[in-house]
Amino acid sequence: MNLRHHPALPVYHRADINHTARSAKKSILQLGLTLGPRKSPFATLSGLLIPVLTVDSNRYSGVSWAYSAAPDDIHHVVHWPYEGQRGKDEVQVPTQMDLETKQWGYLVSKDADPIRWFKHLLLEPQDLKTDMKDASIPLENSREKLRKHAGSEPGAVVDLIAEFLRNLWEHALEQIHPEIDIELLHIKVAIAVPAIWPLYARQGMEETAKKAGILKPRHIGATKLILVEEPEAAALSTLFDRRAYPEIEVRTCPLAAPICKEDP
């Protein structure tokens, strides 16, 4: 599928999407693995499974995962549902929902007017930082769409994000299960959040994960949730990737900074 010719989506190069997804999720996943046991590759299947969910509010979302016995072997969930078929090799899915049909991602009709930017609806307008001010118009449009659809119903934002996360999570489990027996593993789910998010927004994201069924009881034990700050994950990934370089010495402090460019 050629993403550049999908009228319902922003225009991006496939290579850019895949490279960005792999880089970002690899960073976050490595942070998640530092928070759990790293077992020998010869250990029995009783370790830790870490799926990482990334939800980019106005572009694409995705899921990566790894098993604690082989933490460097990072897998990316693909084959996202698309008009009754499965996508080929895309590692991300559009962050969009059709409020009328409840379709999501690539399943949203080309003629629909989907809601996007909904992750940032967890933030109060006064808490939008400078780098989000340019997004105030699309954010307000999304807020108005949700208001027309759900009225003043409390929790409408959480319910919307939870519905998207539920679709993301259920598809991820379908893709992971043939690779490894999930029922034999403890699961620690990591969800990426901006470092500048206030406490109430983080609590809102935790509530969406619960409503999405990500933390529902399992026979082997409770699923744990961690919220990963994106800059910290990037710094850890930089150190991890360059750990064998001779210039990396004890007390070396890596500094990771985003490089932004305009969309093509």
Residue 76, pLDDT above cutoff 50: yes
CATH number of 3-241: 3.30.420
Only one residue has tokens 């020998």, namely 40
Only one residue has tokens 């694409």, namely 60
| Phi, psi at 133, each rounded to 5° | -60, -35
Give tens-digit pLDDT for 88-135.
Answer: 568 889 999 999 999 999 999 889 999 998 988 898 877 876 556 566
Nearest to 142 by CA among 110, 106, 98: 98
Cα–Cα distance measured from residue 220 to residue 134, given in angstroms and rounded to the nearest whole number: 46
Q: 1: pLDDT confidence band, cut at 50, 70 and 90?
A: very low
Residue by residue, DSSP assigns 149-191 as: HHTT-TTHHHHHHHHHHHHHHHHHHHHHTTTS-GGGSEEEEEE
Residue 43, pLDDT above cutoff 50: no
Predicted confidence at residue 89, as pLDDT, reads: 65
With beta carbons less than 8 A apart as the criterion, state whether 1 and 88 touch: yes
Residue by residue, DSSP assigns 76-96 as: E----EETTEE-SS-S-EE--
